[in-house]
């Protein structure tokens, strides 16, 4: 019987030729990731093991991005725990402020995650790397600690849902709209414990940045991983980034899926997820006119260069509505620099947006754009739970950079074609 | 392990931001986190929860972020066990890893009311509502997970294997 790409990657890392859904495997890991919120807990657990070394100094990645640059004294202490640990144990891939970026923008950019890899990260959006044809999944801090010690983790081989997208995307529609549309269809637990495999002609023609956005939000449907078969677009992306060998896996023709869902996305409008769940989706036309207080463009979902390109295209020569606070956060230093070279930063500032150093800050209500009671934000982030960006009585609408930029200009949710 | 406690009920899709809002994640001290446990779902919860209490929730409990602070906050608040119709994957794994007992049982969640006194036998998966004497059967933990729990979590388990 054939295997899916996810089965194949898990099998290869367990030293097996064939594995089937439901099997429990102990697998070797290629990358173990943590951030300033999750790594301190993992380090505290790791230290209980009384080990003088980690399993591999090259394969652990530590990124201070959530409450960094340090937002307060407690956050500074947490970042220091991670920095000290990185120094003490000789962790090669620790990224200090000035080099760091939002982890899920940074690791692919730096070539630290590659096709065929098995990756765990103590951050739920670790599933982002599935866009490269890797098996990547979020875990908690204790799994990260055990991973740092042993280089291994146990996995239950997931069943898979295959999503097939066909048709032609209209001008303002991209990865964010496809994934929100999918979550709206199957719900926030529609793929609980499962592998989400994104396929079809639309995916084949989708850029890497848009693919990252899709895989990134697999967790918002409860998915264990989101994955896209690597192809010429993947290879072009990693060509100058990969510094080690990698393996390309593809699902077999006779691979078994528990469900296949097909979407004709011709005519799909930009999608907006209403408070307080990513599954509460409507088309932008149905959301038009909702007044806003803040717009955030950035995050591990939409903080890449194409996202900023889209925002710049819409904001060029325009002014942001005077009652809207717009915060734009390039995902990494490299993305920031590239945006500057292309003139996007000037466009943003002239339009009246604040441009920030990379941080997860506002997405999780950490810092850099917290909402007051009763305020509404439209964000290109991934979650709109109660209190996610601030006060429990604030509201978050999720959408693409195109909708976000258009809405910033009008002060209310606006389709991109109306500005 | 058998637990007995008073039930606090919650609805569907309780996410980890509701269990412990990110604004408190600049610490991982269990008692500090416990002081804000479930605060965005029920602001009174940190004040009314007592040692041994049980949480009963609808589907997809613990969805969202991977923060282990969520089960740490629940455990720190003294909650002995969480029963839900289903758990989000990372939260489920984190509970096993830190030793917070959990069980999936839709029947029990539907029947049990806020404030009921409930007894849970983790080994057999039997849940008893002491108010009504009704019994519900959850699927007990597989043996290797019980082992991780018995050792007090994954780190102790790994420590023992490393030593052998």
Q: Which residues pair with A34 in a beta bridge?
A: A62
Helix (H) or strand (E) holding A35: strand A31-35
Cis bond before residue A69 (omega within 30° of 0): yes
CB B13 within 8 A of CB A188: yes
pLDDT tens readout for residues B80-113? 999 999 999 999 999 999 989 999 999 999 999 9
Query: Residue B98: its chain A contacts at CB < 8 A?
Result: 140, 142
pLDDT of residue B164: 52
| CA–CA separation, A160 and A4 (whole Å) | 8
pLDDT of residue B143: 76
Q: What order do you get walking across the sheet with A271-273 strand by strand?
A: A281-283, A271-273, A395-398, A376-379, A294-297, A325-328, A354-355
Q: Tell me how crowded residue A343 is: count the other CB atoms within 10 A of its CB.
A: 11
pLDDT tens readout for residues B14-44? 999 999 999 999 999 999 999 999 999 999 9
Q: At A146, list the tokens.
A: 């055990």
Residue numbers of chain A with a pLDDT score lower than 70: none
CB A142 within 8 A of CB B155: yes
CB nearest to B154's CB, from A126, A142, A385: A142
Q: Do residue B162 and residue A149 have CB atoms under 8 angstroms apart?
A: yes
pLDDT of residue A222: 97
pLDDT of residue A75: 97
Q: Angle of helix B89-98 relative to helix B69-76, nearest 10 degrees?
A: 50
**Best of A104, A140, A141, A393 to mutate (most B CBs within 10 Å, chain B):** A140
Confidence class for position B158, pLDDT limits 50, 70, 90:
confident
CB nearest to B89's CB, from A41, A45, A193: A193
Question: Measuring CA to CA, which residue among B6, B112, B21 is closest to residue B58?
Answer: B112
Q: At A205, list the tokens.
A: 């023609």
Indicate the SS3 state at residue A295: strand
Q: At A209, list the tokens.
A: 């940045």
Q: Do residue A383 and residue B27 have CB atoms under 8 angstroms apart?
A: no
Please give the share of chain B, as a percent, with pLDDT higher than 70: 98
Q: Do residue A188 and residue B60 have CB atoms under 8 angstroms apart?
A: yes
CB of B9 within 8 Å of any CB in chain A? no
φ, ψ dihedrals at B127, nearest 5°:
-115, 125
Q: Strands (DSSP E) along A252-342, which ranges?
A: 259-264, 271-273, 281-283, 294-297, 325-328
Q: Is 0.90 exceeded by the ipTM?
A: yes
| CA–CA separation, A376 and A385 (whole Å) | 13
Confidence class for position B163, pLDDT limits 50, 70, 90:
low
């Amino acid at each position: 019987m054939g295997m899916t790409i996810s089965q194949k990657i898990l099998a290869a890392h367990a030293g097996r030729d064939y594995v089937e859904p439901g099997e429990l495997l102990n697998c070797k890991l290629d990358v173990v990731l943590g951030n300033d919120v999750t790594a301190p807990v993992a380090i505290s657990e790791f230290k209980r093991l009384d080990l003088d070394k980690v399993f591999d100094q090259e394969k652990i990645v530590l990124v201070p991005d959530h409450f960094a640059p340090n937002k307060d004294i407690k956050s500074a202490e947490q970042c220091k725990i991670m920095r000290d640990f990185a120094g003490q144990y000789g962790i090669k891939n620790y990224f200090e402020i000035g080099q760091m970026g939002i982890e899920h923008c940074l690791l692919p950019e730096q070539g630290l995650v590659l096709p065929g890899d098995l990756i765990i990260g103590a951050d739920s959006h670790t599933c982002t790397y599935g866009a490269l044809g890797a098996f990547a999944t979020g875990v908690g801090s204790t799994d990260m600690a055990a991973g740092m010690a042993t280089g291994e983790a146990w996995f239950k081989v997931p069943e898979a849902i295959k999503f097939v997208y066909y048709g032609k995307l209209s001008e303002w529609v991209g990865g964010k709209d496809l994934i929100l549309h999918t979550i709206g269809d199957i719900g926030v637990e529609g793929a609980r414990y499962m592998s989400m495999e994104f396929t079809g002609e639309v995916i084949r023609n989708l850029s890497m940045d848009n693919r990252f956005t899709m895989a990134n939000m697999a967790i918002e449907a409860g998915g264990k991983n989101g994955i896209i078969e690597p192809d010429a677009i993947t290879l072009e992306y990693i060509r100058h980034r990969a510094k080690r060998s990698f393996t390309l896996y593809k699902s077999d023709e006779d691979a078994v899926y528990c469900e296949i869902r097909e979407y004709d996305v011709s005519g799909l409008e930009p999608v907006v997820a209403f408070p307080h769940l990513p599954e509460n989706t409507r088309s932008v036309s149905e959301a038009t006119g909702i007044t806003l207080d803040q717009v955030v463009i950035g995050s591990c979902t939409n903080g890449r260069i194409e996202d900023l390109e889209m925002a710049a295209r819409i904001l060029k020569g325009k002014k942001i509505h005077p009652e809207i606070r717009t915060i734009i956060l390039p995902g990494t230093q490299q993305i920031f620099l590239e945006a500057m070279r292309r003139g996007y930063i000037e466009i943003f500032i002239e339009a009246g947006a604040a441009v920030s150093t990379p941080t997860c800050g506002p997405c999780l209500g950490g810092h850099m754009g917290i909402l007051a009671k009763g305020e509404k934000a439209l964000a290109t982030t991934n979650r709109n739970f109660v209190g996610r960006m601030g006060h429990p009585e604030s509201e978050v609408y999720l959408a693409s950079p195109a909708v976000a930029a258009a809405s910033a200009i009008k002060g209310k949710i606006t389709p991109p074609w109306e500005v | 392990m058998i637990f007995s406690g008073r039930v606090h009920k919650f609805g569907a899709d309780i996410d980890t931001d509701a269990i412990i809002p990110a604004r408190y994640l600049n610490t991982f001290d269990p008692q500090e986190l416990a002081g804000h446990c479930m605060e965005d779902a029920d602001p009174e919860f940190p004040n009314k929860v007592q040692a041994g209490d049980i949480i009963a929730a609808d589907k997809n409990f613990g969805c969202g972020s991977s923060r282990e602070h969520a089960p740490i906050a629940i455990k720190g608040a003294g909650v002995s066990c969480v029963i839900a119709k289903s758990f989000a994957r990372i939260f489920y794994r984190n509970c096993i890893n830190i030793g917070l007992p959990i069980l999936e049982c839709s029947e029990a969640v539907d029947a049990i009311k806020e404030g009921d006194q409930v007894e849970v036998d983790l080994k057999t998966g039997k849940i008893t509502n002491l108010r009504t004497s009704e019994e519900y059967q959850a699927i007990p933990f597989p043996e290797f997970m019980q082992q991780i729990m018995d050792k007090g979590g994954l780190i102790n388990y790994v420590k023992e294997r490393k030593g052998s």
